[in-house]
Amino acid sequence: MLAGLGGWLPPRIVDNDELSRHLDTSDEWIRTRTGIGQRHVVDPGMSTVDMAVEAGRRALHSAGSRDVDALVLATATPDQICPASAPQVASRLGLGNIAAFDVNAVCSGFVYALATAAGLISAGAACSVLMVGADAFTTLLNPKDRGTVPIFGDGAGAVVLRAGEPDELGAMGPFDLHSDGDLAELLIVPAGGAKQKTSDNPEDHYFSMQGPAVFRHATARMAESSRTVMERAGWTVSDVDRFIGHQANIRILHATAKQLGLPADSLVVNIERTGNTSAASIPLAMVDAVNDGTLQAGDRVLVSAFGAGLTWGATALRWPDITPG
């Protein structure tokens, strides 16, 4: 069950007007096409581990206990390609020699890592897990690419999961997870990995995205996965109090809600102030929604994400009585 929640954003804010001074874009275009007004960006020297530590600390404070047996870090931007970043986060938080590893499902990372954390608990491998979603996605972007720079921001969000009863508030699941590697090229950093360590073309080291194609897949897959989870949970559309989708584009969230037949006011949306923070976007949206009273104990919450890979998935929970740390 969900027992703690926290989020952290780097202090530097870049608004659309600042971006428009260096890129052929405008506040009007970015707001209308994406719903984004600003994003938080890491300064040189600040890393995914730094952000994950801050969010993790807040989630542990929210849970009221630092007693966790495992740390799962969802990230596509680890501090180094090898090793994973989770052990460094665990050490920096003073959590001792607990199990710690990364999950890379890019923007679906939060839902994938949540299922992994819940699985560790059901398997008896852990009683309590700190799960952090953190990405310094702006470090992957080509500063000249107006197709990606306005969209992404940096940040971290974290939850603590504990063993509990299936009918308790905060109990997680069912989960629905999927992938389609045939479409990996739609969102990709071509070079830097084992297949092509370096490239003469500097652009190959940057993240590239075929935006309109991704938009169509994101909407269809998030709706499909949400339907599956509702069916498995025995919920109808009218049972859903809040839909928390990956904050990629406000138009994707509205289109997904429309496909599902969910009213627009059930959507949790904070993309205006954060942009797309990849694996951090759902927990950061949860923090804002609890703080502004949108999300309340007992609410039936549907969660869905979509990202590079391709990957997508969904889950459901009754919201617990927690205060973000």
Residue 247: closest CA among 40, 24, 5: 40
> Does the N-terminal peptide bond of residue 83 adopt cis geometry, omega within 30 degrees of 0?
yes
Q: Per-residue x/- marks for ligand UT7, 263-292, CB under 6 A? A: -------------x----------------
Looking at 48, 249, 311, 315, which residue binds ligand UT7 (CB under 6 A)?
A: 249
The single residue among 250, 252, 267, 316 that binds ligand UT7, judged by CB under 6 A, is 252
Report the Cα–Cα distance between both ends of the chain, in Å, rounded.
17
| Smallest distance from ligand UT7 to CB 303, Å | 15
Of these, 14, 29, 66, 273, which contacts ligand UT7 (CB under 6 A)? 29
Active-site residue 82, yes or no? no
Residue 287: Cβ-neighbour burial (10 angstroms; 0-12, 13-18, 19+): buried
Residue 124, token pair as written in the block: 């008896």
Residue type, 139: T
Q: Is 22 annotated as catalytic? A: no
Distances (CA, A) of 176 to 91, 172, 225, 227: 32, 12, 6, 10
- Mapped onto helix, strand or coil, the DSSP state of residue 62 is helix
Q: Residues 192-231 vs ligand UT7: string with x where CB under 6 A?
A: -------------------xx-xx--x-------------
For the CA atoms of 241, 246, 248, 249, the dihedral, rounded to the nearest 10 degrees, stands at: -10
- Measure the CA–CA gap between 301 and 243, rounded to whole angstroms: 6
The correct pick among 25, 91, 139, 228 for binding ligand UT7 (CB under 6 A) is 25
Considering only 9, 111, 156, 248, the residue that binds ligand UT7 (CB under 6 A) is: 248
Site for ligand UT7 in 95-114 (CB under 6 A): 107
Amino acid symbol at 193: G
The nearest distance, CB 279 to ligand UT7, in angstroms, is 10
Which one from 16, 40, 104, 107 is the annotated catalytic residue?
107
Q: Which of 16, 104, 246, 249 is catalytic?
A: 246
Distance CA 176, CA 227 (A): 10
Query: Which residue's Cβ has the minimum distance to ligand UT7?
Result: 211
Question: Hey, what amino acid is at 265?
Answer: D
> Among the candidate windows 10-18, 52-60, 146-154, 283-291, which touches ligand UT7 by CB under 6 A?
146-154
Cα–Cα distance for residue pair 178/175, rounded to 1 Å? 10
Q: Count of residues binding ligand UT7 (CB under 6 A)? A: 20
- Residue among 13, 14, 33, 183 that touches ligand UT7 (CB under 6 A): 33
User: Could you confirm whether 107 is annotated as catalytic?
Assistant: yes
Among candidate residues 315, 302, 298, the one with its CA nearest the CA of residue 266: 302
Q: What is the rounded CA–CA span in Å between residue 191 and residue 204? A: 5
- Tell whether residue 150 is a contact of ligand UT7 (CB under 6 A): yes
Instruction: Return the residues of window 292-321 that contact ligand UT7 according to CB under 6 A.
Output: 306-307
Binding residues for ligand UT7, rule: CB under 6 A, are 25, 29, 33-34, 107, 146-147, 150-151, 211-212, 214-215, 218, 248-249, 252, 276, 306-307
Return the active site residues.
Answer: 107, 246, 276
